[in-house]
Chains A and B, each alone.
Chain A
Amino acid sequence: EAGVTQSPRYAVLQEGQAVSFWCDPISGHDTLYWYQQPRDQGPQLLVYFRDEAVIDNSQLPSDRFSAVRPKGTNSTLKIQSAKQGDTATYLCASSPGWGDTQYFGPGTRLLVL
């Protein structure tokens, strides 16, 4: 069974630039999570979906960040105008349902100069 895949693995931007991250969850998992993990810190939940619906995006900086999962499968996280404080690893995870074991992708490391 294929695991959670993410792309790109690395991204380097200048402040003000935009970037998109992609996540392909495990087939059949209806719940998908996006986390931000700054260096030397634990992951912080940004947003999660059940199928195509956003369940909780309260931690997503809504003025610059957006996330979609239009068909309830793959998902895209976009940063419109990156800031240096966005430098972190962005993790995607999926689970069969809320409260079930989460399976993580390898993450996308973002560096904003």
Chain B
Amino acid sequence: EQQVQQSPASLVLQEGENAELQCSFSIFTNQVQWFYQRPGGRLVSLLYNPSGTKQSGRLTSTTVIKERRSSLHISSSQITDSGTYLCAMENTDKVVFGTGTRLQVSP
């Protein structure tokens, strides 16, 4: 069974601190996507990062295919960053999501 593990399961930060979220895959994949979901809100794609490093604003994702992992770095966190961050891998005809990292940013 293809699996996606995310860590940490939850994270509490003070505003301004940085966050590092990790995602590991049970198989090799070159299709990795990071999503954000506010409680009760829709899933929003943050970064599509099949390999290497990609940046979007305060978000930086690094995917290392041969190590079957991807990370998401959030710099200078803001209260509005609070929510759940999910990574997903796509392989042949399967899409598998991780269970997410719940991030809470406090003032």
List residues of A whose CB falls within 8 A of some B CB: 33, 35, 41-45, 48, 55-56, 91, 93, 98-107
Stretch with Cβ within 8 A of A (4 or more), from B43-51, B59-67, B74-82: B43-51
Distance between Cα atoms of A101 and B93 in the complex (Å): 15
Q: Shortest beta-carbon distance, A4 to chain B, in Å?
A: 8
B44, B48, B97: which contacts A42 (Cβ < 8 A)? Answer: B97
A42, A99, A105: which contacts B86 (Cβ < 8 A)? Answer: A42
A43–B97 CB distance below 8 A? yes
On chain B, which size bracket covers the interface?
A: 20 to 34
Distance between Cα atoms of A91 and B43 in the complex (Å): 9
What is the count of residue pairs linking A and B with beta-carbon distances less than 8 angstroms? Answer: 46
The B interface, classified by DSSP as helix, strand, loop or mixed, is strand
Question: Could you list 21 examples of A-B contacts with CB < 8 Å?
Answer: A33-B95, A35-B97, A41-B99, A42-B88, A42-B97, A42-B98, A43-B43, A43-B86, A44-B97, A45-B95, A48-B95, A55-B93, A56-B93, A91-B43, A98-B90, A98-B93, A99-B90, A101-B33, A102-B33, A104-B42, A105-B42
List residues of B whose CB falls within 8 A of some A CB: 4, 31, 33, 35, 41-45, 48, 86, 88, 90, 93-100
